[in-house]
Amino acid sequence: MVNGAAETKETRGGPLIVQSDQTLLLETDHADAEECRREIAAFAELERSPEHVHTYRMTPLGLWNARAAGIEATQVCASLRRWSRFAIAESLLTGVAETMARYGRLVLEEDPRHGLVLSTRDRPVMEEVVRTASVAALLGPRIDPDTVAVYRENRGRVKQALIKLGWPADDRAGYVEGAAHPIDLREREGFTLRAYQHQAADAFVASGSGVVVLPCGAGKTAVAMAAMASISCRTLILVTNTVAARQWRAELLAHTTLGEAEIGEYSGERKEIRPVTIATYQIIIKKRGALTPHMDALSQEDWGLIVYDEVHLLPAPVFRMTADIQSRRRLGLTATLVREDRKESDVFSLIGPKRFDVPWRDIEAQGYIAPAACTEVRVTLTEDERMSYALAEASDRYRVGSTARSKVAVVASLCASARAAGEPTLVIGQYLDQLEALGAQLGAPVITGATPNAERERLFAAFRTGEIHLLVVSKVANFSIDLPEASVAIQVSGSFGSRQEEAQRLGRILRPKHDGRKAHFYSVVARDTNDQEFALRRQRFLAEQGYAYRIVDADDVLVGDLAG
CA dist list (Å): 376 to 19, 440, 475, 495, 562: 31, 24, 19, 16, 11
Which helix (H) or strand (E) segment holds residue 209: the answer is strand 209-213
Which tens digit of pLDDT belongs to each residue from 14-52? 999 999 999 999 998 999 998 998 899 889 987 777 768
Rg (CA), the chain: 25
pLDDT at 539 over 70: yes
CA dist list (Å): 105 to 109, 186, 348: 13, 42, 16
Q: Which of 256-270, 399-413, 436-450, 499-513 has the lowest mean pLDDT?
A: 499-513
pLDDT at 63 over 90: yes
pLDDT band at 559 (very low <50, low <70, confident <90, very high): confident
pLDDT at 12 over 80: no
Buried b (16+ CB within 10 A) or exposed e, 50-72: eeeebbbebebbbbbbbbbbebe
Strand 16-18 and strand 446-447: the pairing is unpaired
Range 195-363 has CATH code 3.40.50.300? yes
* Contacts for 88-93: CB closer than 8 Å, 24+ residues apart: 88/7, 88/18, 89/20, 90/2, 90/3, 90/4, 91/20, 92/18, 92/20, 92/22, 93/2, 93/3
Considering the four listed CATH numbers 2.60.260.20, 3.30.70.2860, 3.40.50.300, 3.90.1150.10, the one that applies to the domain covering 370-558 is 3.40.50.300
Q: Please give the Cα distance from 126 to 371 (Å, whole number).
A: 50
- For all residues of the chain together, what is the average pLDDT? 90
pLDDT band at 238 (very low <50, low <70, confident <90, very high): very high
pLDDT at 198 over 50: yes
Q: What is the pLDDT of residue 7?
A: 42
Same CATH fold assignment for domains 195-363 and 370-558: yes
Mean pLDDT of 240-254: 92
Of 40-54, 313-327, 440-454, 480-494, give the range with the top mean pLDDT. 440-454
Beta carbons within 10 angstroms of residue 110's beta carbon? 11
Tell me if 460 sits within 8 A of 427, measured CB to CB: no
Q: Which of 147-161, 170-184, 188-202, 430-444 has the lowest mean pLDDT?
A: 188-202
Tell me if 234 sits within 8 A of 275, measured CB to CB: yes
Beta carbons within 10 angstroms of residue 128's beta carbon? 14
Which tens digit of pLDDT belongs to each residue from 320-330? 889 888 999 99
Tell me if 154 sits within 8 A of 116, measured CB to CB: no
Of 260, 258, 278, 259, nearest in space to 269 by CA: 278
Alpha helix (H) residue ranges in 104-176: 123-130, 133-136, 155-165
- Determine the Cα angle at 151 with ends 148 and 152, to 5°: 120
Tell me if 173 sits within 8 A of 108, measured CB to CB: yes
Tell me if 127 sits within 8 A of 106, measured CB to CB: no
Tell me if 362 sits within 8 A of 218, measured CB to CB: no
Of 418, 412, 430, nearest in space to 473 by CA: 430
Q: Which of 58-67, 222-231, 352-361, 439-448 has the lowest mean pLDDT?
A: 352-361
Q: 298 or 484: whose pLDDT is higher?
A: 298
pLDDT at 563 over 60: no
pLDDT band at 250 (very low <50, low <70, confident <90, very high): very high
Which DSSP symbol is given to 292?
P
Which tens digit of pLDDT belongs to each residue from 84-122? 999 999 999 999 999 999 999 999 999 999 999 999 999
Tell me if 58 sits within 8 A of 41, measured CB to CB: no
Mean pLDDT of 190-219: 91
Mean pLDDT of 282-301: 78
Which helix (H) or strand (E) segment holds residue 420: the answer is helix 407-420
**Sign of the CA dihedral running 184, 189, 195, 200:** negative
CA dist list (Å): 162 to 66, 75, 99, 126, 320: 18, 26, 14, 11, 16
pLDDT band at 287 (very low <50, low <70, confident <90, very high): low
Of 307-316, 412-421, 478-487, give the range with the top mean pLDDT. 412-421
**Phi, psi of 427, rounded to the nearest 5 degrees:** -105, 120
- SS3 label, residue 60: helix
Q: Please give the Cα distance from 409 to 414 (Å, whole number).
A: 9
Which tens digit of pLDDT belongs to each residue from 338-351? 776 778 889 999 99
pLDDT at 477 over 50: yes
Mean pLDDT of 423-427: 94
Ramachandran bin of 460, using left for φ above 0, alpha for ψ from -120 to 50, beta for the remaining angles: alpha
Which tens digit of pLDDT belongs to each residue from 376-424? 999 999 999 999 999 999 999 999 999 999 999 999 999 999 999 999 9
pLDDT at 126 over 60: yes
- Alpha-carbon dihedral 237, 240, 242, 248, rounded to 10 degrees: -40
Q: 515 or 33: whose pLDDT is higher?
A: 33
Which runs of E-coded beta strand occur in 474-518?
A: 488-491
Q: Please give the Cα distance from 447 to 105 (Å, whole number).
A: 50
Q: What is the pLDDT of residue 413?
A: 95
Which tens digit of pLDDT belongs to each residue from 487-512? 999 999 988 768 878 888 888 898 88
All structural domains of the chain with their residue ranges: 9-101, 106-171, 195-363, 370-558
Share of the chain above pLDDT 90, in %: 65
Q: What is the pLDDT of residue 46?
A: 78
**Cβ neighbours of residue 177 closer than 8 Å, sequence gap 6 or more:** 233, 304
pLDDT band at 479 (very low <50, low <70, confident <90, very high): low
pLDDT band at 1 (very low <50, low <70, confident <90, very high): very low
**Phi, psi of 334, rounded to the nearest 5 degrees:** -165, 160
Chain-centroid distance, C-alpha 446 = 26
**Sign of the CA dihedral running 532, 537, 538, 544:** positive
pLDDT at 9 over 70: no
Q: What is the pLDDT of residue 10?
A: 43
Q: Which of 160-169, 240-249, 285-294, 536-545 has the lowest mean pLDDT?
A: 285-294
